[in-house]
């Protein structure tokens, strides 16, 4: 394998493209319709821009889809259209935080035009910022991803069934991001009840490590919150399909939606206010509650 396409080179995608490019792969993308920020990130990572998706699927042997969950199925449709129009021979890997059911839909879309489909998911932060991310893959064509293992990312093949790679991401993110939503919710409730100081004192005595994580992680979430809305919806769908209540992550969806509507969410990962406190973050979330959520007398 020599050429890899990435859709889209955002925060995770451009970092993946950078490390794969450093290992000798020709990395390309199609930036048509993408934001100025994404174009800048792609340029910084040395990712080559092509004019159209038809050109992308013709030149690339493998395409990694790394997007917000809400865009995953649509980009699969667009790539499938380009494959059909160009009669290209390319493999498509959905690496997004989507349910196994969504992944099966994309498999049908891509294979329906003669493309090869690989179910994937990413656990961990962008490469180059500590421990390499784990790319879980599954499906009958997942073995070809082994060529990328150890090249800035770690690839873990977990079987021939589409949906397994997506499923493990759903279960993992249900814990990590779901816990963050729970923390945001309980701290907001304490703030609305005038009990923030008292709760902080109790947590410092009985749950000091939990309180430390709250201070370290929650102030940086506003810039990510809009991307996590769709992820919580996909987790809820996964749980519902598995016969487990979706209600936890339907609630988490609402928490991240409220956070995404605060002024703090206008930040990007490049300009996050690192001095912002946990208290300031929670105050912004509480101030954004809808009228029906105001505490009653």
Q: Where do the structural domains in the chain lie, given as residue ranges? A: 3-162, 167-290
The pLDDT-based confidence of 292 (bands split at 50, 70, 90) is very low
Domains 3-162 and 167-290 share a fold: no
The pLDDT-based confidence of 9 (bands split at 50, 70, 90) is very high
pTM: 0.93
What is the CATH code for 167-290?
1.10.1040.10
The pLDDT-based confidence of 231 (bands split at 50, 70, 90) is very high
The pLDDT-based confidence of 296 (bands split at 50, 70, 90) is low
In order of 9, 57, 147, 184, 288, the CA distances from 221 in angstroms are 20, 34, 34, 10, 15
Burial of 8 (0-12, 13-18, 19+ CB in 10 A): buried
- SS3 annotation, 172-183: HHHHHHHHHHHH
Q: Looking at residue 291, what is its pLDDT?
A: 54
Q: Are strands 154-157 and 134-138 parallel, antiparallel or unpaired?
A: parallel
Which of 1.10.10.10, 3.40.640.10, 3.40.50.720, 1.10.8.420 is the CATH number of 3-162? 3.40.50.720
Q: Looking at residue 57, what is its pLDDT?
A: 97
């Amino acid at each position: 394998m020599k050429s890899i396409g990435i859709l889209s080179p955002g925060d995770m995608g451009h970092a993946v493209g950078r490390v794969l490019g450093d290992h000798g792969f020709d990395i390309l993308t199609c930036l048509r319709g993408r934001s100025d920020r994404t174009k800048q990130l792609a340029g910084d990572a040395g990712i080559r821009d092509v004019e159209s998706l038809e050109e992308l699927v013709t030149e690339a042997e493998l395409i990694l889809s790394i997007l917000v969950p809400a865009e995953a199925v649509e980009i699969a449709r667009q790539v499938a259209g380009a494959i059909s129009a160009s009669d290209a021979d390319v493999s498509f890997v959905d690496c997004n935080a989507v349910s196994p059911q969504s992944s099966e839909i994309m498999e049908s879309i891509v294979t329906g035009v003669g493309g090869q489909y690989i179910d994937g998911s990413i656990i961990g932060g962008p490469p180059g910022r500590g421990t390499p991310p784990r790319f879980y893959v599954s499906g009958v064509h997942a073995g070809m991803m082994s060529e990328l293992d150890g090249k800035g990312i770690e690839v873990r093949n977990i079987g021939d069934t589409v949906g397994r790679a997506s499923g493990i991401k759903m279960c993992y993110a249900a814990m990590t991001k779901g816990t963050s939503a729970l923390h945001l919710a309980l701290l907001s409730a304490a703030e609305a009840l005038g009990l923030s100081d008292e709760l902080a004192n109790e947590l410092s005595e009985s749950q000091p490590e939990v309180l430390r994580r709250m201070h370290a992680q929650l102030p940086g979430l506003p810039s990510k919150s809009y991307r996590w809305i769709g992820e919580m919806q996909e987790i809820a769908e996964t749980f519902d399909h598995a016969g487990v209540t979706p209600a936890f992550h339907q609630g988490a969806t609402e928490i991240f939606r409220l956070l995404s509507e605060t002024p703090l969410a206008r930040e990007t990962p490049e300009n996050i206010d690192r001095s912002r406190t946990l208290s300031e973050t929670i105050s912004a979330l509480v101030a954004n509650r809808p009228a029906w959520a105001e505490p009653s007398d």
